[in-house]
Each structure stands twice: as structure tokens, then as C-alpha cells.
Chains A and B, each alone.
Chain A
Amino acid sequence: MLTTVRALLPHVFRSSRKAPPVLCGVLALVLAALPLAVSYRMEIPYAVTLIRVVSVTVALGVAFALDDPASPTTQVTPTSNLLVRLTRIALSALPLVVVWLGALLLCRAAVPAEARPYLPVGGLALEATALLVTTLAFAAVAVRVSAPTHGGLAAMPGLLLATTAVTLLPDDVQPFAGPGSTRWDASRWFWLVLLVGAVVVLASLLGEAGHRRRRRSPAVAAPAAEQVPATAEHEARSRRSVA
């Protein structure tokens, strides 16, 4: 499997959209670095708000992770769709997770030292993870029901609209509860449920579509054993011809 992933990486990287994650990553880091740049000592509520903005920005970056214009032509390849899509997600999400951690450190550094222990890092990480996975789930739904290139088109605006609507909810049901507020613990349950729901939706949509799975013949479904020698022979021939 590792060999397959290693072989997939350059092709998946080449066919992935780079601009959205790069733009969002840079924007997230710039936003997180602003308070330090202007020497502003942030209070905990402001730091939490900034980290939440960074989390939304990072989540926007993975919106296009599942967009693959070539996917109709690669439906019948022996490599599983699940593996290809997980590789695509990893390529977009892992650097953005590193960006989020960097942004968190930048925001934390802008908080006075005595207040830093009160920054609810765990709860904010849960929010960020839920936002990221929800964006991916949104994109996966759009890719499945619409077109292979419509994931980001739907997920980016969808995330923005949903986040804006959530911030307008009344205080007693506000998922973006203030740190230290009486609603904080209860609001964590919302994010946990959202995360679990998004993981379930994403997991069910990343693999083959049901009808395609059924139509696959055993020969196509498990060709790996025959493929390896064929590839090796082909490579040997190529080497001979080059020589």
C-alpha cells in the first residue's frame, strides 16, 4: 500500500488545486501574526475569536481537495478510489493542519504569559477539526451528486454561509460559546456531534459509488497480483530500449 501511495503522490499532487490551500494557509498565518506584528497583547476572548477565524480560513483551504477533473477517466484503474481520495485529502489537509498549529502558537504568543494557561486549546482544536472535516464532507457530497469539479464550488460558500448563520444564533444555543462561559462545555458537544456526523458522511462517500462497486468484475476489482510483473516487465523493457 505504501508503494502505491508513493507512486500516487506525484500524480495526485500534479492534479490537485494548489492555489486555494496556499492562499488560505498564507491568509491564516498573516491573520494570526497580526497581533504580534503590531505588538498587541490579546485578551483570551479576542485570541479565541482570532483562532476561530483562522480555523474557518484553514477549513476553506481544503474545500477543493476532492476536485478532480480527470476522475471520470480514472474510474476503472486498479487503485481504489478511497486511497486516491485519501491521498488528495492528506496532501491538502496535512500542510493546513501544520499551518493551524503555527497560527495557534502565534496567537498564543500574543496572549499575556499569565493568561496563556486559560486558552482553551483542546476545545478550539475540536472546533477546527470539526470545521475541516465538515468542509470535506460537504465537498464529497457535492462531488458525488453534482460533478467532479464542483466540490470546492459548493463547499467554500457552504462553509461560509453556515458559519455566518451559526454566529447569528442566540446566546443560549451558540456553538461559538465564549471561553469560560456557562455554555462552553455544552457547546463542545455540538462540535463533537458535528465531527462524528461529518466523518460518517465523508467515510461513506469517499469510496466507490454503490452501483459502480456492484458492476466491477472480480478481474478488475483485484488485478494487483497480475499488475506487478507486467509493470516490472514493462520497466525492464524500457530500460533495455533506453540502453
Chain B
Amino acid sequence: MTGTSLAPAPTSRPPVTPRPRGAVSALFRIEAVRLLRHPAVLTGLLLYLALWAYEWGTGGLAHRYPVLQDEDRYSQVPLLLVAAGAFIASNLALTRAQRSGVAAVTDLLALAPWRRTLAQLLAPLPLAMLSGLLVGARVAHLAAAPGAVGRPSLLELATGPLIVLLAGVAGVAVGRLTSMVAVGPLVILGMAIFTLVGAVTLGRPMLKWWGLVAIEDEFEPPLPADLMHRPVTAHLVYLAACAAVCCAVALARSGVDRRIGVTAVGVTTVLAVVAGAGQSVTVPGDVAARRSVAEREPSAQQTCRTVDTVTYCAFRDFEGRIDQWSTLVGGMLRHTPPDRAADRYVVRQRLLFGATTSSVSISPPLAVWAADDARAGTPGAVPVGTKWGTDQIGGDAMLSFAGHFAARVVTGEPPTEASALSVCRSRAVLVLWLAATATEETTAALRSLLPRTGGSVVLPLLDSSLGLSIGRQEVSVVRSLLDRPADQVAQQVIANWAELTRPETGTERAASLLGTRVLGPAAEGARC
């Protein structure tokens, strides 16, 4: 105890120089870690991963056939869960002092309020980076799927993490504006409603770009990457400007010089409005020209590959799809006589713009397509679209292609108005059975389609007005045939091929040749 000195500290010690930058950096580290560990963020991340795991666990990914230039933007929607978590967590962090009843004490802290706000505005950065990693992992996982085609856009991939960052800083801004914790979730609800309205308001495509995520019409077929037009760069600038507005508002409410604060809010708001208005959805002239060529004369942009006796031509982004087409076509030709299976066939990928957006179905430009096929040395090609999958939309497209290829084999003619009309009675039974038994997926597609159509089936060519119309009686015969082993029915098909493919052979006769019978009467006003 004798050594204890109560003497004042030597006055020669140099005064401590305040280092606000270091303090901001330290506070940022603490707040960033707290944000990452916040239950709302963890719940958002967990739900994101749970959705992914569910898709994986139920085998959804195995039959997904992802198109990567679409998957990049699909990755943004599940990330809204993380964004919501970021908003809630950063908002609650701002109101922490208020809720704990120590708000008055924080006035005594050495660090200026605006510097503390700055640290909190920076805190969502690590979470945004983590979101970027998640999106990257998700797209890499999809790219590794056997049926994946196309290439993702880096800008689309960057949008999701930027939304998370924006949500984080928006939570801080709202927290600075009001300490009412009920407001935060209501703001999220408002954003969700705006996104929903943007997604369903197809008549005003510009509206969705004012929200966080611009969801496209899911009935639109996928496009090759160079034919797509989404103002992604402008949207990124818009989101960044919105984040800047939130930062300016939060700092302005944190005691920065009033003139600087008001000016910053004004400038960033103008910037956000200008950036928002700059997201033009009008298709530029060069893209429109490329689309027109791709629709009418795609052969020059496509690569062709021959598998067995069939030549497949696809846009470069969809080359990987040839494997799935050849599996389907091979499955179908296996059930036909050897001379028919040995014929030369061509399958060419086609685009038809406006088929799903217009309320009236449009006719495909068959004459222009025939001329393009003739120039390319591939006459009589069967068109196939870009939709493919085992969901409702992709399954219907898969079955339609199978039907039109089967019609090509049965009638010996490429798809035209006349050849479509000639698929009646026995031919209709044969075409639908060949299409349905091509693969397990086409069988499942037909089974999924029937409850939605009331018994008859229409297989449109690329969503156009041209389609194969198969009546209830013919469908009922095919349904009964699907209950028997396909190889057994195939033997009867091959043995009776000549009669079954004759236009005048009736449905009852086809049924008896195939060892079944017709169920129910023909629909009134049936075309055949």
C-alpha cells in the first residue's frame, strides 16, 4: 500500500486527439455484426435457404431446365426475404435507444449523432455482400443442372444485393423519421403491395420498374440474351439513387448542418426521380431489328446438330436444349415403324413475338419460315419454342412440341393450317398417344393438362392461333391407352400404322385396332 500514489497524472501527457473516423469504423463493425446476428435477418436468410433446400429436396431442380438469363432475375424475388429482414433489423437498431429508455443518455456520447447514423448506414454492407454470395451460389447451382442453358447477366445478379443494401439504409432512414416500431413493417407491406401491383399491371409495364423488383410476365417465352431488353443498368442507378435519398434523409435528421442536409435530400431525390424516369421500357431500335430477324430468319443466328436422323437447330444460348429435344423425339420415333423413324427430320427453334401479350392469338408467319428453312437447306422443319419444363407452362409447351412433331411424322407434312386440320379421328389418337408417350414428362404434362381443358386438348404452335385440336373421344381413347404398357401399344401401332395414319380412318376403328374402345359421345360442334 505504501507504493500507492494519489498524485495527479503528469500534466505533460499529450492531449488525446479525437479520432471520429476510427470511432465510426468501430461502431460500423459492431452494428454490422449485430445486424448479421439479428433474428429478423437470420429468419430471412433461413427462409431463403429453406425455399432453396425444399426445391432441392423435392427434386424440383432436377426437372427444372433453367434458362440462366431468366434465372438471374428470378433470384431477386426470394432475396426480398433477406431485404425485409435487413429493413426490420436496421430500423430496430435505430429505435433501440428509444425503446430501452436511454435516448436522452445518447446525447452525452462524444461521437456526433450524424457520425453514429453514418456507421449504421454502412452496417448493411456486409449483409449485402453475403446476399451477393448467396445469389452467386444459387445461380452456380442452377448452372450445374443438366438442363441449364443460357448465360446470366451480372447486372441482374447485382440487383438483389443492392436491394438488400437499400432496404438496410431505408430502415435507418425510417428509424430516424419516427421511433414508432409499427411503422417499419407497414413500410415493408407498402413496398410489397407496390411490387405486387407492378407485377400484375401488365398494361403499364413502366410501373414495376419504380418498385424494387421488376417481375416479368411469366407466360412470356424466354429469349436469347442478346434479344432481351430490360433497363437493368438504369434500374441499378435508380436503386442506388433511392439508397442515396435514404442516406441523405437519415443524415439530415441526425444533426448535420441544415443547409447541407436539405440540399443533399433535394439533390438525391431529383437524382432518383430522373433515374426512375430513365428506365425506359421501350425496346430500342437495334434490339427490335434483331428481334425481327430472329423471328423471321433465325437460321443465320442458329447452330445445328444432327442426332440420329434428326437435325436440330437452336439459338446459341439454347444449344443445350438439343439434348432434351432429341430425348423426346427419340422416345417418339421408337414407337413408329422403322421406315418412318429413318426419315430425315428437322427441328428448328422459333420465336413468335406478341403471341402471349395480345388478347387475340396471332398467326405464325409460316410462309416466311418455310422460305428461311429452304434457304438454310432444312425444308419442312418442325418449330419448337424456347419454353421448356415440367411446370404447367413448360409442360404444356413440351407437349405441344411433341404433338406437332408427331403430326409431322404421321401426316408427313410440316405444320401448316392444312396439315393441322388433317389431324382428326384416328390420326388425332395416334398423334396424341405418340406425344404423350414420348417421355415420362410428356405423359405427366398431358395428365396435368386434361383437368384444365374439360376433356379435349388443343396443342398450339408456339402459343399462336395455329394448333392441333383433339376432341374428347380421341382423348378418351388415348387415356385408356396410357393405362397399358407403351411398348405393348407400340407393337399394335406399328402393325396397323398404314390404316391408323389414313385420314378417313375413324376413331372407333382406331380404338378397336389398338385394343380399346371409345368412351362417351363426340362433342357437339366438333371440328372433325
Contact = CB atoms under 8 A, between A and B. Distances in A.
Interface of A: 17, 19-20, 23-24, 27, 31, 46, 49, 53, 56-57, 60, 63-64, 149, 152-154, 156-158, 160-162, 164-165, 168-171, 182
Contacts of B40: 157, 161
A165 B44 CA distance: 9
Given A46-B200, A60-B186, A153 B43 contact: no
B85 A161 contact: yes
B186 A153 contact: no
A138 B425 CA distance: 60
Contacts of A153: 92, 181
A60 B51 contact: no
Interface in B191-236: 192-193, 196, 200
A56 B192 CA distance: 11
A171 B448 CA distance: 13
Interface stretch (B76-84, B337-345, B466-474): B76-84
A70 to B, nearest CB: 14
B185 interface: yes
A164 B422 CA distance: 49
B47 A165 contact: yes
Interface-centre pick from B47, B92, B186 (highest chain A CB count, 10 A): B186
B81 A20 contact: no
Interface of B: 39-40, 43-44, 47, 50-51, 54-55, 58, 60, 77-78, 80-81, 84-85, 88, 92, 99, 180-186, 188-189, 192-193, 196, 200, 391-392, 451
Contacts of B78: 168
25 contacts: A27-B186, A49-B196, A57-B189, A60-B182, A60-B185, A64-B182, A153-B181, A156-B181, A157-B84, A157-B85, A157-B185, A160-B189, A161-B40, A161-B43, A161-B47, A161-B84, A161-B85, A164-B47, A164-B80, A164-B84, A165-B50, A168-B51, A168-B81, A171-B392, A182-B451
Contacts of B193: 31, 53
Given A156-B184, A160-B192, 15 more contacts: A19-B180, A20-B182, A31-B193, A53-B196, A56-B189, A57-B189, A63-B185, A153-B92, A157-B185, A158-B43, A160-B189, A161-B43, A168-B81, A170-B60, A171-B392
Contacts of B80: 164
A162 B192 CA distance: 13
Contacts of B181: 152-153, 156
Q: Is the interface of B mostly helix, strand, loop or mixed?
A: helix
B392 to A, nearest CB: 7
B451 A60 contact: no
Contacts of A158: 43
A150 B392 CA distance: 43
Contacts of A152: 181-182
Interface-centre pick from A63, A154, A161 (highest chain B CB count, 10 A): A161
A182 to B, nearest CB: 6
Given A27-B186, A53-B196, A156-B185, A161 B44 contact: yes
B75 to A, nearest CB: 12
A37 to B, nearest CB: 14
Nearest to A166: B47
Nearest to A20: B182
Nearest to B77: A168
B55 A170 contact: yes
Nearest to A154: B39
B39 to A, nearest CB: 8
B186 A157 contact: no
* List of 7 A-B pairs having minimum Cβ-Cβ separation, nearest first: A20-B182, A165-B47, A156-B185, A157-B88, A157-B40, A161-B43, A160-B185
Contacts of A56: 189
B41 to A, nearest CB: 10
Contacts of A49: 196, 200
Contact of B186 (A24, A46, A169): A24
Nearest to A21: B182
A60 B189 contact: yes
Contacts of B391: 171
Contacts of A182: 451
A19 B392 CA distance: 44
Contact of B84 (A17, A64, A160): A160
Contacts of A165: 47, 50-51, 81
A170 B78 CA distance: 12
Nearest to B43: A161
Nearest to B181: A153
Interface-centre pick from B78, B80, B182 (highest chain A CB count, 10 A): B182
A54 B179 CA distance: 25
A57 B77 CA distance: 21
Contacts of A171: 391-392
A169 B51 contact: yes
Given A157-B88, A169-B51, A182-B451, A164 B182 contact: no
Contacts of B189: 27, 56-57, 60, 160
A17 B99 CA distance: 14
A46 B188 CA distance: 21
A149 B55 CA distance: 37
A122 to B, nearest CB: 23
Nearest to B192: A164
A152 B183 CA distance: 12
A49 B197 CA distance: 10
B314 to A, nearest CB: 28
Contacts of A24: 186
A169 B50 CA distance: 10
Nearest to B60: A170
A23 B185 CA distance: 11
